[in-house]
Structure 1
Amino acid sequence: MEHLEAVVIGGGQSGLAAAHALAEQGVIPLVLEASDRAVGSWPRYYDSLTLFSPARFSSLPGLAFGGNPDRYPHRDEVVAYLDRYAARLDADIRTGRRVSRVTAGAGGYGIELESGEHLSAGAVVAASGSFGRPHRPALPGLETFTGQVLHVADYRAPAQFAGQRVVVVGAGNSAVQVASELAQVTRTTLATRAPVKFARQRLLGRDLHFWLTRTGLDAAPLGRLLRTPPGQPVLDDGRYRAALSAALPERRPMFTDLEGSKARWADGSVEAVDSIILATGYRPDLPYLTDLDGALDPSGRPRHRDGACLAHPGLAFVGLEWQRSLSSNSLRGVGRDAARAARRLARHLSRR
């Protein structure tokens, strides 16, 4: 059995940031990535996805994004950037390696791969993100709806929905962005439990992320002040607010029921619907930790404090939403959390 100092599970932005931070501490990790490229889930996001943060605020530690720092990079630019980052990283990155199980032992942790391969490590970083676990809420009648139901994780472009009656469920950035582009080709409703909240993308001639960085609200602990229900506001340069005002898409309170292929709305009206797209977020994708006692709570969420596992000192999480701040699961913020986790794990390894 191959023994490593540290294994990072996941080769996306969180795993790459963790590997960089561990190398800075003198720990050369092995990165295990399930797909064939160390770029995480980015290639699978919808085609029109564009970052809400400018390039100058969208890089991982050690490598600037490049190009015009004030532009808002497209999905494919992020993929190319992560490719460059992985190529420069001082780490062993093995793709096509899906981890199926992590267990605790006297020498640290046992890591079992779906291929049947077994490894062991003194420390483990769980950085597998959440894209693999889309959240599908229990909406009335959804189980028996006879039309098409998909999560925004499976959405790519509006062309396939042309001429359909579409309902997008959600009030976040993805929901508004996808519903707005669908409304250009077909009748689309954005169904939400509360009115959509907007935040201006630019203030006093500067992008919002400039002010978040300058004030410290982008980092822990002050950033937690922005975590207020029902969630973060939609960042907008004016386009999306104008689109909703023009009913492109229309915004309606959540449907009260689904009957066959029809939706019943709060005002009592009933209409046929072809497709429902759930832009309802994600949950941490950590099935390989199920057998590691105390690592997860009964719902599958990690039990941690600021990324440190409460039950296992050699296990850290990186890239969780709101792990330490509002930017913990973003390109601009994951490096801070990764550095903190790497320092803690380096101390743990030195005591063994």
Structure 2
Amino acid sequence: MPNSQTSVVVIGGGQSGLAAARAVRDAGLHPLVLEAGDRPVGSWPHYYDSLTLFSPARYSAMPGLPFPGDPDRYPTRDEVADYLRSYADSLGVEIRTGHRVRTVSTTPTGFLVHTAAGEEIPASGIVAASGTFGRPHLPVLPGQQEFSGEVRHVAQYREPAPYAGRRVIVVGAGNSAVQVGYELADVATVTLASVSPVHFLDQRPNGRDLHHWLDTSGFDDLPPAWLAKVIHHIPVLDTGGYRKAFESGVIDRRPMFTTFEEDRVVWADGTSEHVDAVIFATGYRPHLDYLEPIGALDAGLPQHVAGISTTHPGLVYVGLEFQRSFSSNTLRGVSRDADYVVSALAAHVRDAVTIVGL
């Protein structure tokens, strides 16, 4: 183990953690990546089977390793996992898989990371890069506990086959809700229920993928305060097929239902209907419970400015939604955020080393 006064523990071995590890290494410090899973690929293997990136391969690579294959294709879930594994191998840093972090505590010189296996790992800095997949947001509606049908979050969904011939409601108005509802409609009767209407955005305006325009316009670099002024709803990227499915009635969209009954839901207009399954595509929250004991969170959310903790010097975050820009928690944007927060972290670590005379 490197000198604990110059080592930085990166919690999470997915895209955010690997981006952070590269930035820590390049800053001249010693990254140690702790990944709960058996591979340094984060949550990608656990998403639904048909998931593809919304950005082309050319805009989905991380620094130092191009995404293989046709740069204009949209990589699949498994291709992303394979890419991240290759990226991890290319970094030349220490990555420990099967190491779940239970909690973090503070010491006079930094932090102590406690793993589920009982290890205690000292560190001068912490990068919290554990993503959101481990904390799916599942709303609870009246009558939900008594509902006899299936209720699950999209995090638990894999493929449409088990829903063949069934009545299914998908809750949500984002990309995942529409993508899952669209493929389920081939085998089931599907309604998409949401508080707000679905807002579609052309995936390929003027014959070029949207990400080309985001990149060349500088939109990806707009700070969150500006984004709040121009983005009121996260749009669903569409090449035309999704919109047509709604317009033709292949997928039915309705305002959110209000209540569950024994085997039914009650819609906003008071009518009720038998339903076999409800899949909530209602997003995720930062999975950072290991920081709760040191007071770094407020109602489960990190207290930070642009990914730098406002409660604990030496603690930074990578992979938070809208952390510094529209692309903060994506493959194309996470490395920019990692460079930014690790620059501040490295300065803190070096100052601390100087103070203790090392």
**TM, length-normalised to structure 1:** 0.96
Distance 2:322 2:48 in 1: 23
Q: Structure 2: where are the runs of 5+ without partners? A: 353-358
Distance 1:21 1:246 in 2: 48
Q: Structure 1: where are the runs of 5+ without partners? A: none
Q: Which residue of 1 aligns with 2:247?
A: 245
Alignment RMSD (CA, Å): 1.5
Aligned residue type for 1:296: L
- 1:100-139 aligned within 5 A: 100-139=102-141
Q: Is residue 101–residue 288 contact of structure 1 (8 Å, CA) maintained in 2?
A: yes
Post-superposition offset of 1:52: 0.8
Aligned residue type for 1:195: P
Q: Which residue of 1 aligns with 2:335?
A: 335
Change (3 A) 1:265 1:215: same
Post-superposition offset of 1:61: 1.5
Identity over the aligned pairs, expressed in percent?
Answer: 56
Post-superposition offset of 1:47: 0.3
Q: Which residue of 2 aligns with 1:21?
A: 23
Counterpart pick for 1:265 among 267, 291, 307: 267
Q: Is residue 2–residue 30 contact of structure 2 (8 Å, CA) maintained in 1?
A: no
Aligned residue type for 1:329: N
Distance 1:228 1:103 in 2: 40
Deviation readout 1:162-217 (Å, 9 max, x if unpaired): 01110000000000000010011010110011210011111111111011111111
Q: Is residue 223–residue 325 contact of structure 1 (8 Å, CA) maintained in 2?
A: no
Q: Is residue 224–residue 324 contact of structure 2 (8 Å, CA) maintained in 1?
A: no
Q: Which residue of 1 aligns with 2:319?
A: 319
Q: Is residue 58–residue 65 contact of structure 1 (8 Å, CA) maintained in 2?
A: yes
Deviation readout 1:39-89 (Å, 9 max, x if unpaired): 000000000001110000001111111211101111111011001000111
Distance 2:229 2:321 in 1: 11
Change (3 A) 1:332 1:110: same
Deviation readout 1:87-106 (Å, 9 max, x if unpaired): 11121000000000101110
Distance 1:229 1:272 in 2: 36
**TM, length-normalised to structure 2:** 0.95
Distance 1:349 1:222 in 2: 28
Q: Is residue 259–residue 266 contact of structure 2 (8 Å, CA) maintained in 1?
A: yes
Post-superposition offset of 1:258: 1.1
Distance 1:119 1:141 in 2: 45
Distance 1:21 1:114 in 2: 26
- Look up the SS of the partner of 2:89 in the other structure: helix
- 1:178-217 aligned within 5 A: 178-217=180-219
Aligned residue type for 1:54: P
Q: Which residue of 1 aligns with 2:143?
A: 141
Change (3 A) 1:72 1:223: farther
2:69 is equivalent to residue 67 of structure 1: yes
Which stretch of the first structure deviates more once superposed, 131-140 or 106-115?
A: 131-140
Aligned residue type for 2:313: P
